[in-house]
Amino acid sequence: MNYFNDLETIIKINSYTQNKLGVDRVGIIFDNWFRELGFEVDIYERENIGNHRYYKSKNIKNAKRLLLLGHLDTVFPPNKFEHYSHDEEWIYGAGACDMKGGNIVLLEALREIKKDGIDIQNIDILFVSDEETGSDDSKHLTTKLAKKYDYCFVYEAAGKNMEVVTGRKGVGTFFIDIDGKAAHAGNNYTDGCDANLEASCKLQKLVKLTNLELGTTLNVGKMYGGIGANTISPHANLTFELRYKTTEEKNRVLDKIDEIVETSYVDGTKATLSGGIQRDVMQITTSSLELIENIQKIISTKLNYEDRGGVSDANIVSSCGVVTLDGFGPFGDGDHTVHERALKSSFASRIELSKMLFKYFIEKLDFKG
């Protein structure tokens, strides 16, 4: 299977998000592969990260359009996790399932479409270069381009039972900086305003916003403050993450966060909030469930689906009102660790699924019967 050789080629190139040279090397390889299939290539150049790449097929105007979404970057810096290996069942390496493997799935499905003599139309591809660090740069491009499309398939890894993804939690990262007043802890204790104490009060208030029944979690993952044991702390900081399943929960928690920040539990302290929502929630919609039903009719079998707590760029596209499904890549595990792997047998089934859906879409220019 030649596509495993292609996967080996790109896995062996370090594409850590901050390794612009490596990310762009992988991107150039995909440029050549997609040009062979007749795609036009638009490159969005970036100075400090890899270039984003947009591959365009023939476009029939006033017809439905499908966007395929992937990312080129991985999480390990050079010399950390760069080996490629395989055995009878698994492929091992950075990006095997997250998500160089997924990119190969969509590429190979399009190759098979082309081999069958079918002209690819109204299907475009966007590969971004900074997904693993939150898509802070690319999310603006993704949002702009997504508005042109009716459907989006994202090629993150499949679930254990080959599920696609219909919903993902929204996520935000926030920082609270607290100013107090320093004083000698022995001689002038009452002259100080303890920023550390204020931080501890706010921490307890924040974590109480968690509602596991509704899928809302708030985690204060880092805190620091103070100067030393003999000084009332003049400064403290909290770093926390919010994850949520619904817009209603997002709004509830954001209102409470503002209230906690504005309230001084220790007289004389002041706090400021920074950060914000990184990727908004990908909610299950009537349209996404209808698309699942239509896909099952097209492929004449059941398509498993699930919600996930983790985020991807599917969140961004879904938030634009595009009917979005994720998890079209191969099954794998160990992503973001040196044990990352992808199941060989899952590639063939995922390529076949995508091929069937692409072929149907090109013929009908929709997924409805």
Q: Which of 241, 261, 279 is the last residue of a domain?
A: 279
Q: Is the pLDDT of residue 1 over 70?
A: no
**Are residues 152 and 146 in contact, defined by beta-carbon separation less than 8 angstroms?**
yes
115 plus 194 within the same structural domain: no
123 plus 11 within the same structural domain: yes
Name the least confident of 12-26, 74-88, 212-226, 340-354: 74-88
Q: What's the structural domain count of the chain?
A: 2
Euclidean distance between CA atoms 67 and 150, whole angstroms? 8
16 plus 152 within the same structural domain: yes
Domain span at 228 = 170-279
Assigned domain for 349 exists:
yes
142 plus 87 within the same structural domain: yes
Assigned domain for 179 exists:
yes
pLDDT digits over 319-348, tens only?
999 999 999 999 999 999 999 999 999 999
Q: Is the pLDDT of residue 246 over 90?
A: yes
Confidence of residue 106 (pLDDT cuts 50, 70, 90): very high
Average confidence (pLDDT) over 271-285 = 94
Assigned domain for 190 exists:
yes
122 plus 264 within the same structural domain: no
Q: Which long-range contacts (CB under 8 A, 24 or more apart) does 110-117 make?
A: 110/34, 110/37, 110/358, 111/37, 112/351, 112/355, 113/355, 113/358, 113/359, 113/362, 114/37, 114/38, 116/359
- CATH at 223: 3.30.70.360
pLDDT digits over 20-40, tens only?
999 999 999 999 999 999 999
The tokens describing 215, both together, are 């899928």
174 plus 161 within the same structural domain: no
pLDDT at 309: 87
269 plus 314 within the same structural domain: no
pLDDT at 191: 96
Q: Where are the beta strands (DSSP E) in 247-289?
A: 270-279
Peptide bond into 162 cis (omega under 30): no
pLDDT digits over 131-164, tens only?
999 999 999 999 999 999 999 999 999 999 999 9
The fraction of the chain above a pLDDT of 70, given in percent, is 100
183 plus 317 within the same structural domain: no
- Collapsed DSSP state (helix, strand, coil) of residue 49: coil
118 plus 189 within the same structural domain: no
Q: Which of 279, 302, 326 is the last residue of a domain?
A: 279
Average confidence (pLDDT) over 179-192 = 96
Assigned domain for 59 exists:
yes
57 plus 9 within the same structural domain: yes
**Are residues 281 and 168 in contact, defined by beta-carbon separation less than 8 angstroms?**
yes
Assigned domain for 369 exists:
no
- CATH at 28: 3.40.630.10
Confidence of residue 192 (pLDDT cuts 50, 70, 90): very high
The fraction of the chain above a pLDDT of 90, given in percent, is 96
272 plus 353 within the same structural domain: no
340 plus 330 within the same structural domain: yes
